[in-house]
Structure formats: C-alpha cells, structure tokens
Amino acid sequence: MTERLTHIIGGQQVAGPTTFESRNPAYWQEVVGVFPSGTGPDVDAAVETARLAFRSWRLVPAPRRAEILFRAAHLLSERKEEMSRLMTREMGKPLVEARGDVQEGVDMLFYIAGEGRRLFGETTPSELPSKFAMSVRSPIGVCACITPWNFPLAIPSWKIAPALVAGNTVVLKPAEDTPLVAHRFVELLMEAGIPSGVLNIVHGGGDTGAALAKHPGVDLVSFTGSTETGRSIAHACADTGARVSLELGGKNAIIVMEDADLELAVDGAVWGAFGTSGQRCTASSRLIVHKNIYSTFLSLLAERTRTLVLGDGLESSTQVGPVINQSQLQRIHEYTEIGKAEGARVICGGEIAGGEGLQEGWFYTPTIFADVEPQMRVAQEEIFGPVTSVIPVDGYEQAIEVANGIKYGLSSAIYTANVNRAFTAMRDLNTGIVYVNASTIGAEVHLPFGGTKQTGNGHREGGHVLDVFTEWKAIYVDYSGTLQRAQIDNQP
C-alpha cells in the first residue's frame, strides 16, 4: 500500500494541495510514497516555527542535547535493517550498500553526540593585567539543510546532528527522489526526544528549496548537490546575509602506477566507479594508468566489469542497482554518445540495460571508456552514473597534472608500492581527500569531508563540521576594578 506523507512543522502533520510521487527506480511502476509539494507559506511556517523554537533550544545544555542524539543513534541501530530495505526500495542501491548508508548515520549520531561535551573554545592570556580572555562556540540560529538523493540518510545526518548539538534549529528539505527515508529519519529523531519545532521537514522540489534558501529568516544554508544549484544558493545567501556551506561536484581520479598491485587496483576501480551505480560525488570516474601496465590493467578491468550483476537491490545477487530516475538514465546515455563522438573507445557497457528483470527499472550497463584524452568532456564533466574513463599517462608527473587538471577537487587516490611516491602524491594532489592504495570512496565520519576548487566553498562536513554550525564569540572579563583600554594603555 502506498504511503501518503505530510510535512512536519512544529511537530504537526501539514498537508498540501499538490503532491508528487517517490517511485522505486528498480520497478518504476511501484509508488513508494506520495508527498506534498512545499509552497512559500509552508516554508514560511517552518522557518518561523524553527525561529521560535530556537529561543528555548539554544538554552538547553549541550550535553542534554547530545543525550537525545545518543538515543537516536541507538534507535537507528535497532532499526537498521528496516531503514536499509526502505532505502533500497526508494533509492535503488543494493541492500549491502544501503546498510552502509544507515550505519554512517548511526556513526555520525554517536560521533556528534560526543561533541556535546566537547564544544571546546579557547582560553588565552590577556595583554592587560587582571583580565581574562576566552572564546566560546555559539549556535547560529535557523539552519536550512537541503540534501541529495544518493545518500538519503547519511547526508541528512551529517547536517542535522551537528546543527542540533550546537543548539541550532533545523528545516530539512530532502531530495524529491528519496523523501521517505529522510521523513522516517526525522520521525526517529523526534521519537528520541527532539522537541517540537526544533526539527522540521518540508518536502518538495527545486522551487521549495529555492524558497528556503532565500528566506530572510534562515541564518545558515547547508547544501549538498549539483554545482549549478549550489551557485544559485550562494547567490541567494549573498542577498540575505546567511552563512552558506556547499558540498558540490566531483570528477575523481585513481592513479595506477607501474609498480601497483594490479589486482588491488582493479578492485578499487570497480568499487569506486560502479558502487552505488556511480552515483557518488566521490565516484572513481577517471582512472589514470601508467602506459607500461595500461593494456593489462584495461583487460583486467573490463573482465571484472562484464561480470557485474545488475538488478533489484533487494536481491542478494545484485552488485549494481538502478540509477535514480528516467532523466538521469537518459543523461548518462547522452554522455556515452558524447564520448564516442570525441573518439573515446567503449570497451564495456554503453547501453541502457534491458535484460530479464531490468525492463521495469532505470538500469544502465557499467561502462568503460578507453584511450581517453584528459580534455574530453567525459573526462572533465560529472556524469553521475556507472561510467569511468581510462586515461594513459607516461609517468608520475603527467599523472598528477591530469588528476589536477579539472575544475573539481574532492577525492583522489594513488596505487603504488613506492612509499616516497605515495607521500609525494599526498602533497601534490589538489583534493580535499586523498587515498593511498584504496579507492576514492570510503570516507569516515570523524575526518573532514569536502573538497577544493569548485567542489564547494571551503567548508567541511564530518570532522570539522562544527565550524559550519557554530559562531565564535570572544569574551573578555576585566576584574581589575579600573578602566583598562586595550592597546592604548600598553603604549610605552
């Protein structure tokens, strides 16, 4: 039976006059849920409710706020399988990957809950006698969290948990392709004890997100998604003065040197390129391979890729699930045609899948482009599908030049047995994340997540996320009993 959901504003269910459907990408005829399309008044109500709730929530001691997140982490851990299966139905990723997505939410809740007793500031000596100086973290206010569909629970947890533990209130706008998982996550947090109005959810598409991003009552916008949408959000926040944190695109590279363990490198390439059907901002969409091992690597990669099993993510045999929707399926195929026209050679895949059990979903065959030139569009533009480009290079210096020669800077990797070369690559790769002898995916929640260049605007989630969701306040306490004027009174 199809579920019919509402917005949640101030703890109340709020319906709307128009709706949209969330469908199973493996069986597009299955409607997972029906949701209201948020309007301007819905966004107004959610923001005003969050502003009102901020008055009291910011005064709750941070360790008490954290206790609620600890309870939520335990609840989510207990319901991991239920939430994972729901995610696979709604988003399509294989169940084993969905479990990882949910586990990341559990990990983030536990990690950020620990920050409730570690919202550390600094004490520092004052330049004047009988004067105390320190800095403390303060909440910002109402946070608009706008999240994508590819990690429908993990990414909301990256934003909601730190916002709440810092004393902010939240309006969440999840992607319209995966609203049910986010909705269940919000319900779970409220069950754990988040007070009414502190966390609200408004469903809808781009118009809803735009209304939230430009709302004058929003103090911070945290967005993960496309570079184009991120730019428009940045412009909106420039007008309102809101802080903005952007985590945008990637075109990530694995460098495979001539001394690499080829079997290990192929494992990493297959997982990085085709895990989550390539629908990760950290996907390994470029494979930069030394010419001395290029043919061997390409042969091994194609052999492995051809054995990958496409299908419904709920089936235990499935290794690659569907892509998210029909428009993305067509976009991926258009890039295949672009690559062919540019002169790249398709050695595997390159087709919309239509075999048994696949006709009712949005499936694309895992695709490898060989003999790719670094400036080809398929090597420069984010495709966000199960497609990777293999680029031959003469040596380390050219490999680094090619890896850095794009507008993004999220994740990169190098496979090599040379420790000196590995450390040199750590220095030379211009990305926010670097892996050695591992794929470009696999970030851990306690390290900073984000990138350089057009991957974002310099902020990080994960390990340094509290720098996004808090303000620094400098405090001076003068107990001298006299007027002391800094700098002026220090003149010789």
Site of tokens 């999220």: 410
**How many Å is the Cα radius of gyration of the chain?**
24
- In the prediction, which pLDDT does 355 show? 83
pLDDT tens digits for 324-362? 999 999 999 999 999 999 999 999 999 999 888 899 999
Domains and CATH numbers, the chain: 3-248+456-475 (3.40.605.10), 253-436 (3.40.309.10)
- Return the H-helix or E-strand segment holding 224: strand 220-224
Query: Is residue 319 classed as helix, strand or coil in its secondary structure?
Result: coil
> In the chain, which residues have pLDDT < 70?
1, 489-492
Q: Provide the token pair at 287.
A: 């494979």
pTM of structure:
0.96
Q: Provide the token pair at 96.
A: 């084993």
The distance between the two most distant Cα atoms of the chain, rounded to a whole number of Å, is: 87
- In the prediction, which pLDDT does 305 show? 98
How far apart (Å, rounded) are the C-alpha atoms in residues 415 and 396? Answer: 11
- In the prediction, which pLDDT does 363 show? 98
Q: DSSP letter at 309? A: P
CA angle 166, 170, 173 (to 5 degrees): 140
Site of tokens 């297959």: 270
| 253-256: strand order across its sheet | 345-348, 367-370, 387-393, 286-290, 253-256, 411-415, 433-436
How far apart (Å, rounded) are the C-alpha atoms in residues 429 and 439? Answer: 14
How far apart (Å, rounded) are the C-alpha atoms in residues 432 and 235? Answer: 24
Tell me the catalytic residues: 247, 281
SS3 content of the chain, % helix, strand, coil (to 5): 40, 25, 35
**Pair 421, 436: CB distance under 8 Å:** no
- In the prediction, which pLDDT does 105 show? 98
Instruction: Tell me how crowded residue 243 is: count the other CB atoms within 10 A of its CB.
Output: 17
105 burial class (0-12, 13-18, 19+ CB within 10 angstroms)? buried
- In the prediction, which pLDDT does 492 show? 55
Instruction: Tell me how crowded residue 63 is: count the other CB atoms within 10 A of its CB.
Output: 13
CA angle 69, 472, 443 (to 5 degrees): 50
How far apart (Å, rounded) are the C-alpha atoms in residues 440 and 411? Answer: 6
**Pair 413, 438: CB distance under 8 Å:** yes
